[in-house]
Structure 1
Amino acid sequence: MHKLSLTAATICLAAQLTTAQIKLPSPSPGASVMQTVGTTDITVTYSRPSLKGRQPFTDSFVPVGKVWRTGANGATMFTTSTDLMVNGKTLAAGSYAIMSIPSQESYTLIFNKNKSVTEQTYKQEEDALRVQLTPAENSEKIETFTIGFSDVTDSTAKMNFMWANAKAAADLKVDVNTNAAANVDKAVVEKPDDAAVLQAAASYNLSKGRNLDQSLSWIDKSIAKQETYRNLFVKSQILAKMGKYTDALPIAQKALTMGQSSNDAAFSFFKDGIEKSIAEYTAKVPAMPAMKAGKGKKKA
């Protein structure tokens, strides 16, 4: 009876602590890792079990060859702000539960649409994507299950799953140019009268040689809102990119004059570029045709 009463008291105490939302230590503490790859924000939220003398991927602890929630407690969550490629396959922007099937020869990585999925409720028909990873051996033993990112560039990264002496990595890739172009177009739609946004959007398109007619329209609107040596220089560059050096030259010259009198400390970073552009445009402006001898003279 005493034992029963103690158990009931323990249960009541646990319920009270839960209701009170008191933060207590967890055997598998929660963690979150966020990585930006180019224009894409990727976040993984999961719970981290530790070995504590056990060996994972055995029949008694995280069985091999069976679906695993890839962590502890609730489902491991993966969120990407844009579409991305995982091992060459497309995963649409959104949030997914990460499940996996670990084995010695192959590690199946699963992105499941059911964000509250467990091993018992998992359905393959709810998968958004499955890819195969090749497990490798870690040089050091990892006590606590870890998901992290490495080899990050402006468009690629590796997402690593590490535990004990095992490691599996997924190759991630984002289409930076497509995403950046979409961000530019969205920014102009949201702030169509912002001179700085219009200038930045026109500059991006110029750097990619993209939609120059639209870029010229944007920079003209930026200049109309607030004329500066910066947006004048951008306009001269767009015109030059379109082969209109005769139009580009006087605008670049005006940008230089305005910059020199602007008292803007940042102008020193633009000065050489503007002067070089003026020299380039001058060299490419067609020479004025010489007047023919006697042209314009009245006959005697």
Structure 2
Amino acid sequence: MRKFVVSGVTLCLAAQLATAQIKLPSPSPGATVIQTVGTTDLTVNYSRPSLKGRQPFTDAFVPSGKVWRTGANAATAFTTSTDLTVNGQTLPAGTYAILSIPAQDNWTLIFSKNKGVTEQSYKQDEDALRVSLKPTTTSEKTETFTIGFSDVTDSTAKMNFLWGNVKASADLAVDVNKYAAANVDKAVTEKPDDPAVLQAAASYNLSRGRNLDQALTWIDKSIAGQENFRNLFVKSQILGRMGKFADALPIAQKALALGQSSNDPIFAFFKEGIEKSIAEYTAKLPAAPAKGKGKRKA
């Protein structure tokens, strides 16, 4: 009888703590992973169960071949700020629940439009996307279930799922040029007279070889607003990319002179690049005829 009373008290205490929403340790603590790929922000919110001597993807623990919430507690949430591709297939911008069907030779990764989905409530017709992953065996055991990103570039990344001696990865890709260009155009529209914004926008176009005439207009406006060695150097580079070396040379020389007299510590990082540009433009100009070497009169 006493044991029953103690158990009843324990249950009541647990219920009161839950009602009061007191934060207590969890056997599967929550985690948030944030990764930027180019201009796209990716976020994963999930709970991380641990093995504690168990073997995952067996009939006894996280069964193989059955839908799994790919974490613990609530549904695992995945958010992408822009459209992206997962293993070459398009996933629109938004928030999804991640589920998976792990198996020995193949994993099915599922992005569900039902953000509160569970294994029991899962319906395939609510899928936004499902792709196949090839699992591999790792030499090092991962005790606590982990979702992470690796091999990150400005347009690609791998999203990895690791637990026990199993690793499954999805290839992610974004159209960085499309979204970066849109961000550049939006920034110029919002701050059309800001010299720094105009310089950054012109620099982006220059780096991508995109609409150099537009870049030249932007950098001229930046220089008119606040001339400095940075925007002059950008202008000289744009002109050089356009093949206008005779116009680029004096502007690069002016950028060098302004930088040397500016006492700006940042100039040290630009100096070598400006000097190389001056040498390049000079080399590409036609040599001037030497004095006294002109054509003799008959």
**In the superposition, relative to structure 1, how do residues 52 and 226 fare at CA in structure 2: closer, same or farther (>3 Å)?**
same
Write the distance in 1 (CA, Å) between the matches of 2:13 and 2:24: 13
1:279-290 aligned at under 5 Å gives the runs 279-285=279-285
**Which residue pairs with 1:60 in the alignment?**
60
Aligned to 2:83: 83
Letter in 2 for 1:63: P
CA distance in 2, matches of 1:6, 1:113: 44
Is 1:189 matched up with 2:189?
A: yes
Structure 2 gap ranges (5+) = none
How far residue 91 of structure 1 moved from its aligned partner, in angstroms, is 1.8
- Matched with 1:259 is 259
1:49 aligns with 2:57: no
Q: Percent identity?
A: 77
* CA shift for structure 1 position 60: 3.5
Normalization by structure 2: what TM-score?
0.87
Kindly indicate whether residue 144 of structure 2 is the aligned counterpart of residue 144 of structure 1: yes
Amino acid at match of 1:119: E
Offset of residue 3 of structure 1: 6.7
Q: Distance in 2 between matches of 1:213 and 1:270?
A: 24
* Distance across 2 between alignment mates of 1:15 and 1:61: 27
1:206 corresponds in structure 2 to 206
**Within 5 Å, which residues of 2 pair with 1:20-39?**
20-39=20-39
Secondary structure of the corresponding residue to residue 261 of structure 1: helix
The alpha carbon displacement at 1:141 in A equals: 3.0
- Count of equivalent residues: 294
Q: Partners of 2:283 and 2:247 in 1: how far apart?
A: 13
Deviations 1:52-86 (A, max 9, x none): 33333233332222211111110001122232221
Instruction: Out of 122-131 and 150-159, give the one that drifted further.
Output: 150-159
How far has the Cα of 1:291 moved from its partner? Answer: 10
Greater shift, 123-132 or 38-47, is seen at 38-47
Cα deviation for residue 133 of structure 1 reads: 0.8
Q: How far does the alpha carbon of each residue in 1:95-117 deviate from its partner, in whole angstroms, 9 at most, with x for none?
A: 21100111122110001111111
CA separation of 1:275/1:24 partners in 2, compared to 1, >3 Å: closer, same or farther? closer
Q: Structure 1 residues 275 and 152 mapped into 2: Cα distance closer, same or farther (>3 Å)?
A: closer
Aligned-residue RMSD, C-alpha: 2.7
- How far off its partner does 1:293 sit? 9.1
Q: Structure 1 unaligned segments of length 5 or more: list them.
A: 295-300
Corresponding residue of 1:297: none
